[in-house]
Structure 1
């Protein structure tokens, strides 16, 4: 448990210039990992619902999160979709906000059931999550696919524990759970980072990673619009600037 708790602090160190540089090299030779996002270049209602839930949970605004969760479930988000997003939150905003957000989701689900609303449980992972060396191998493979190339550098030589935690806990434990697509996990990640002042380098890096999964600049503009309307102008502007910097030659 202690090692997993360290991820939230180490992530700020690792997913910054290292991944930004890796992305810059990957776009020259890499191809999108997947491309099953909406071909009309429009986020679905379910994808839109993920954005405010992730951002408000990261910000710790539980009152607004409760409203967003209700709206998301009404839009077709499943209970397990919500769980996956809010568990993933620990890697970016820490366990306290992740646990508080999960408690809010549990309360919302119970209240809706009491009202006679039957929300879909949703999918669970299709296969058991690997353990030990197999988890490290899968996490390394997932990280390489998402970034576009193997992630190495002086930072990981300086703090090899950070490298291991990223590969095993984030890209392994979390990204191996295939009941939420990588595109949707990246949408959630971007929304979370938009709500964290000081995480701009990571936000920019994840814009590149999101695009490597098949998410387009048009999708990201829509994400920014959702942030502006349902979360706040600061979160939207932070993401807008990061997108502009990513797309600039």
Structure 2
């Protein structure tokens, strides 16, 4: 196999001491994907290893890629990514990809953590309660997307649909975005990566492209994110995301 030296070195760092049956069954395919994932895309990635790993885990959950998730997860723990950060990626994915896509990955993650000698449950990261979660969620929404935009969205909601926007405020933002373990920049680029990995969510991706800019992530960061996720998401979703990045960022 003609796998580049750079690809070999990066793969060993990201997936230390891990083997795949593709070495025996599909060596030509392995050459292609290893060179693409661990060399070519990395040449255009300005994100840290930590951020790259967190968004990759989020995309693999969203795409229901359990075997690849386990491999990246094991490498992440071996390379010093904190268990709390990994768990928070799981939790952050729930309101966007849905519990049905995340549920099995919680068990997988706990199994890997146990094998690595990490005790669960991990320390709690919640900072809200049933009384203040809606208020705190609203604060984060307005911080990310602007008070005028959030108020207009709520005011324009039909009366029989208002509860869905209340859920967005209290559940999505109040229960999850207020948690510690990840900062605002982490949560928004992870959310961007989740939505970019879904299908038919371009309007939501527009909103969270703007949200990323509001918390300090850059156009370069978002281009790097879709670049390193391209092998997992494919070209159609990547090019859709890239078009939205250009549309929103260039309008700022």
**For residues 202-241 of structure 1, what are the structure 2 equivalents within 5 Å?**
202-229=204-231, 231-241=233-243
Tell me the CA shift for residue 131 of structure 1: 2.0
C-alpha distance after superposition, 1:41-72 (max 9, x if no partner): 94221111111110110111111211221232
Contact 2:209 2:248 in 1 (8 A): yes
Distance 1:209 1:55, change over 3 A: same
Larger radius of gyration, structure 1 or 2? 2
Q: CA RMSD in A?
A: 2.5
Which runs of no fewer than 5 residues in structure 2 stay unpaired? 1-44
* Alignment partner of 1:129 is 2:131: no
Distance 1:124 1:44, change over 3 A: farther
Match of 2:147, SS state, is coil
1:181 corresponds, among 170, 180, 183, to: 183
Match of 2:101 in 1: 97
Contact 1:148 1:212 in 2 (8 A): no
Which runs of no fewer than 5 residues in structure 1 stay unpaired? 1-40
Match of 1:201 in 2: 203
Match of 1:146 in 2: 144
**For residues 115-126 of structure 1, what are the structure 2 equivalents within 5 Å?**
124-125=124-125
Match of 2:37 in 1: none
Match of 2:17 in 1: none
Query: Number of aligned pairs?
Result: 203
* Alignment partner of 1:58 is 2:83: no
Contact 2:138 2:169 in 1 (8 A): yes
Tell me the CA shift for residue 198 of structure 1: 0.5
C-alpha distance after superposition, 1:166-188 (max 9, x if no partner): 11111111111122111111111
Distance 1:179 1:238, change over 3 A: same
CA distance in 1 between counterparts of 2:137 and 2:84 reads 22
CA distance in 1 between counterparts of 2:241 and 2:80 reads 26
Tell me the CA shift for residue 104 of structure 1: 1.7
More helix by share: 2
TM-score, L = length of structure 1: 0.73
